[in-house]
Copies of this chain bind each other. A is one copy, B any other.
């Protein structure tokens, strides 16, 4: 029996999508030309590549770290995606060389982890709670599936299947196997990818085991700690919420703990739910989704409010300057949203996916393609950032000791096209408005679709469909949640958007013939956005948003003391395109007020006076902040 909640859609793979978009294409090009080589160099220079030679010996400096394997894995995955769309024999040779080393590092029993082979071999599988063996395994599996698909070369896939088989022999419900699961989820979604790449059901079953086992009593991490001679109660991270192991997943109501872990896990849950038609598990995903996106997400799509434990805190707690909103977490939210979108075909998921992609994900990388944010705060105050070690960085760094984010954004950008379209047998869904072309099988036919648009700067999108032969299917056009008054014409004839729209998509079901056109207009006035009254950091403030882009004020344009700026509700906001700025952006300008600095000399507090003066403001898209040196930044602006 088909589960009514089973996946409705599947993504059109990025290999079938050409991105010719003015907003994205330059970033994707930079990713390929600058980011991938720069990240390889970083991996090389920091020892991450050579670590696979297994030559490190006790007493040597720079011991391979427990998460290094994952950095190389993510880089290889990113390179694979790049090769899939842009052949590059040099890059492919480099990948083959890395793969050769990885393959040689595999142990006779299939085990594959640098740290626990040469640094602490006696500790293999003894601390799933804290160490990252399965997390590293997962990233290598993702890389393997990607590389095999991109190049047709199966070597790395076979290596990872052997490792997955080793893992399946080590973990599971059967007598004599460990009932453990990784403290840093990731392998769950990776195993589903391995299953999809190989058709081997045992990988899906292992993923399901990890999902089902998590948080059960007696608690594996308790037992494991005792086996190491440790008191499980004395744990540096305090509570199992940190790694989402405080309760069985189907019973969890709120997104807790480390936000990257949480969202990788929820993504894996959604995968398992889709592949096994598990309505209960999908319902848990939906519950956690709602908690994340309706109570714990920044307006930029960033997630994880606190740098202490890189974690979710409590409902509506969204501090701006100290926002963590780790690039990896924001990317993982895209993964989760993308999976939920296929499962439920609801534009709500695409809205969040778009929000994160255009804002808090893209902010994670500089225009130069080789500088990265780990945290993506919504306000920056340089005097403090310079003084306080506990503060998040407000200038992008070239690399990190814990370097999860740079290769994560590289793989996201290299496979960006996959988020634009979904398909089913009777539906072609346009999730993102991205200039370019795509091909998908719908209604038993190859259908190509072309998008002409200046999105996100411009309001209009023209889609031209070219099915091989005329075919009846629904063309589902996402009407973004931020948009009011969308207009649609089909072959020049106005359609009733409201009547056609269900779950966030205007669904035009008809026989489509080559050359048929749908023209969508998505009005993009500047919107003032307010946050829920319980978000105390947003009280009395608005964020400016235009289309999918959240804007911010930077010191470079607006001077210091941004917090003192006050934007009257009545102030007109003007949009203009500045070709020379940050690669070309639509800026928002208007007239705000700020207090007169006169009279404040040597005064810290005084009887409140009324004097303010006009202050012109200029806002730029948040995703482009901090490309002009260090300065103040603010997303939320006080209102009058």
Q: Is the CB–CB distance between A605 and B383 below 8 Å?
A: no
A297 at the interface (CB under 8 A from B): yes
Contacts of A381 in B (CB 8 A): 317, 536
In this complex, what residue of B is CB-closest to A390?
Answer: B308
Partner of A314, one of B383, B561, B608, B640: B383
Q: Is the CB–CB distance between B561 and A238 below 8 Å?
A: no
Q: Is the CB–CB distance between A294 and B595 below 8 Å?
A: no
Per-position binary interface string of chain A over residues 574-605, scored 1 when its CB falls under 8 Å from any chain B CB and 0 otherwise: 00000000000000000000110100101111
Q: Is the CB–CB distance between A609 and B530 below 8 Å?
A: yes
Q: Which of A534, A537, A560 has the most CB of B within 10 A?
A: A534
A370 at the interface (CB under 8 A from B): no
Q: Is the CB–CB distance between B527 and A539 below 8 Å?
A: no
Spot the interface stretch: A79-87, A337-345, A412-420, A562-570. A562-570
Per-position binary interface string of chain A over residues 417-459, scored 1 when its CB falls under 8 Å from any chain B CB and 0 otherwise: 0000000000000000000000000000000000000000000
A639 to B595, CA, bound (A): 14
Q: Is the CB–CB distance between A602 and B317 below 8 Å?
A: no
A306 at the interface (CB under 8 A from B): yes
A-B contacts besides A306-B388, A317-B384, 12 pairs, CB < 8 Å: A294-B604, A299-B605, A308-B388, A308-B390, A313-B387, A530-B605, A533-B564, A533-B594, A533-B600, A536-B561, A540-B638, A608-B639
- What are the nearest 4 A-B pairs in CB distance? A536-B563, A530-B608, A528-B608, A539-B563
Partner of A389, one of B308, B532, B537, B609: B308
Interface residues in A498-548 by Cβ distance below 8 A to B read 527-537, 539-540, 542-543
Q: Is the CB–CB distance between A604 and B532 below 8 Å?
A: yes
A295 at the interface (CB under 8 A from B): yes
Partner of A566, one of B388, B530, B535, B540: B540
In this complex, what residue of B is CB-closest to A640?
Answer: B640
Q: Is the CB–CB distance between B317 and A383 below 8 Å?
A: yes
Known: A388-B313, A595-B533, A605-B530. A638 touches B569 (CB 8 A): no
A315 at the interface (CB under 8 A from B): yes
Contacts of A535 in B (CB 8 A): 604
Seen from chain A, the residues whose Cβ lies within 8 Å of a Cβ on chain B are 238, 290, 293-295, 297, 299, 306, 308, 313-315, 317, 381, 383-384, 387-390, 527-537, 539-540, 542-543, 560-564, 566, 569, 594-595, 597, 600, 602-610, 638-640
Contacts of A610 in B (CB 8 A): 569
Contacts of A537 in B (CB 8 A): 563
Q: Is the CB–CB distance between B534 and A561 below 8 Å?
A: yes
Q: Is the CB–CB distance between A542 and B314 below 8 Å?
A: no
Q: Is the CB–CB distance between A602 and B540 below 8 Å?
A: no
List 10 contacting pairs A-B, 8 Å CB cutoff, sorted by A.
Answer: A294-B603, A297-B604, A308-B388, A314-B384, A529-B607, A531-B605, A532-B605, A533-B597, A534-B561, A540-B638
A162 to B289, CA, bound (A): 69
Minimum CB–CB distance from A572 to chain B (whole Å) comes to 15
Q: Is the CB–CB distance between A603 and B569 below 8 Å?
A: no
Contacts of A313 in B (CB 8 A): 384, 387-388
Contacts of A306 in B (CB 8 A): 388, 390
Contacts of A539 in B (CB 8 A): 561, 563-564, 566, 638
Contacts of A569 in B (CB 8 A): 608, 610
Contacts of A293 in B (CB 8 A): 604
A299 to B533, CA, bound (A): 26
Known: A238-B389, A384-B314, A384-B317. A604 touches B295 (CB 8 A): yes
Minimum CB–CB distance from A301 to chain B (whole Å) comes to 11
Q: Is the CB–CB distance between B530 and A606 below 8 Å?
A: yes
A8 to B530, CA, bound (A): 56
Minimum CB–CB distance from A83 to chain B (whole Å) comes to 39
Q: Which of A308, A528, A604 has the most CB of B within 10 A?
A: A604
Minimum CB–CB distance from A56 to chain B (whole Å) comes to 25
Contacts of A315 in B (CB 8 A): 383
Minimum CB–CB distance from A298 to chain B (whole Å) comes to 9
Minimum CB–CB distance from A50 to chain B (whole Å) comes to 28
Minimum CB–CB distance from A137 to chain B (whole Å) comes to 31
Contacts of A530 in B (CB 8 A): 605-609
Q: Is the CB–CB distance between A540 and B542 below 8 Å?
A: no
Q: Is the CB–CB distance between A528 and B604 below 8 Å?
A: no
Contacts of A609 in B (CB 8 A): 530
Contacts of A606 in B (CB 8 A): 529-530
In this complex, what residue of B is CB-closest to A527?
Answer: B607
Partner of A536, one of B531, B534, B564: B564
In this complex, what residue of B is CB-closest to A536?
Answer: B563
A530 to B564, CA, bound (A): 12
A387 to B566, CA, bound (A): 33
In this complex, what residue of B is CB-closest to A318?
Answer: B604
In this complex, what residue of B is CB-closest to A530?
Answer: B608
In this complex, what residue of B is CB-closest to A562?
Answer: B536
Q: Which of A594, A605, A639, A640 has the most CB of B within 10 A?
A: A605
Contacts of A607 in B (CB 8 A): 527-530
In this complex, what residue of B is CB-closest to A292?
Answer: B604
Known: A308-B388, A313-B388, A384-B314. A608 touches B561 (CB 8 A): no
Contacts of A566 in B (CB 8 A): 539-540
